[in-house]
Structure 1
Amino acid sequence: MKKVQKNSLTTLLAVLIIFIMYNYFQQETGQYIVKTVIDGDTIELNDGEKVRYIGIDAPEFQSSKKNAEKFAEEAFQANRKIVENRKVKLEFDVEQRDQYGRLLAYVYTEDGIMVNEWLVANGYAKTVVFPPNVRYVDRFKNLEKEAQKQKIGLWDE
């Protein structure tokens, strides 16, 4: 009986060590798995951290999908399609958290697409500037102008 308890304890300890090392490796390499997409510009990682995309603003659901801003559902679905249940890398700017405790990041897919940029380029989000996190603001503004010119997504009116 004691041998069984010792083996169970050893197994539990090994699993715990693997879990800790996995989480440490993820944080050190900046690779995470997106657990769920909250809306067009916010995700939740598998470790429970919420991430708000820097430099963009997608239409909001407000208090419910019923009261959603125009194009909120499309932005949400586009974000889901590109990142949900997938590995992403995070790039931080000057400030790493907002007033709500969310991480602020530029989010990249495994194949190197910056999601923030992709959402603006495809008309799912607008450029928004919150200094000091302004590293890519000029890129986003140029992409937004092009989406407006081509009447893509939000600009299709």
Structure 2
Amino acid sequence: MRGRSSGGRWLVVALGAGVMQLAGATSRLGAQGADSVWVNTRSGVYHCAGTTYFGKTAQGEFLAEMAARAKGYRANGGRACGGRSAPPATDRPDASPSSLLGPIAAAGDDTPPSAPTGPTIECTVSRISDGDTIECDALGKVRLIGLDTPEPDQEPYGSAATAALASFVPFGAVVLLESDAEARDRYGRRLEYVWYKGRMVNWDLVRHGWGVTLHYQPNVRYAALLDAAQARAQAEGRGLWRIEGFRCQPKAHRAREC
């Protein structure tokens, strides 16, 4: 009885702390409270409302599901809780290409790049900065080449793109970086094609509709493949295309044209 009472007191304290975290997350992310999940900060897994461990692990906090995915946390059991702007529920690293891309890819009509064509170096993902930028241990910021995703202030599209990137390359993943003609941009970020488990993440983001193509000479090695991926994603209404998330494209938004 004593242990159970102690556990009850602990749960009250934990839930109280969780509510405070939730209030902070809600104030930052607007009307996202209904999509809150419980993040186990020790295991890197988040739990949906109504499940066994929701609010009940020793270390954790409440976050909106998109925010949890953007920070690199993965869904318990690999299935998202159903947030409206969440990326596909099945994380790409554990799925086959045809299951993610549907019948078109299975039929061989839309072929992603199969392997790097230039030298690569390894990088351990330490942070997802936004929808097209990661950070690597010892290497700093890495800007994915050939695409552009909504800015963080283009909500909810910016958070959705960031969450999509986090689902493709989870926190702690060891990825391969392939450079093009230029090694860095004017901000000092590395310019790279990011490969994870045999797939180019740049291409996956465009093909699933979480980014649009953006090409700057001379870094255009895969421009044709990325353009083809965007055309199919737009035609099929994938990702943000489905909800007119690119009505004001990121480049135009930065220039304050829309």
Normalising by the residue count of structure 1, what TM-score does the alignment of the two structures yield?
A: 0.75
Q: Distance in 2 between matches of 1:114 and 1:46?
A: 20
Q: Distance in 2 between matches of 1:34 and 1:94?
A: 23
Q: Distance in 2 between matches of 1:70 and 1:142?
A: 26
Structure 2: 5+ residue stretches without partners:
1-118, 244-258
1:6 alignment counterpart: none
Deviations 1:24-67 (A, max 9, x none): xxxx9611100000000000001151000000001111xxxxx3
Match of 2:220 among 113, 116, 134: 134
1:122 and 2:213 equivalent? Answer: no
Matches within 5 A, 1:4-153: 30-61=121-152, 67-83=153-169, 84-109=171-196, 111-153=197-239
What is the SS of the residue equivalent to 1:142? helix
Question: Whose RCO is larger (CA < 8 A, sep 6+)?
Answer: 1
Bigger share in helix: 1
What is the SS of the residue equivalent to 1:30? strand
CA contact (8 A) 2:127 2:134 kept: yes
Cα offset for 1:90?
Answer: 0.3
What is the SS of the residue equivalent to 1:124? coil
Deviations 1:72-107 (A, max 9, x none): 111101111221210000000000100000000000
Cα offset for 1:68?
Answer: 2.7
* RMSD, matched Cα: 1.5
Q: Distance in 2 between matches of 1:38 and 1:95?
A: 21
Structure 1: 5+ residue stretches without partners:
1-27, 62-66
Normalising by the residue count of structure 2, what TM-score does the alignment of the two structures yield?
A: 0.46
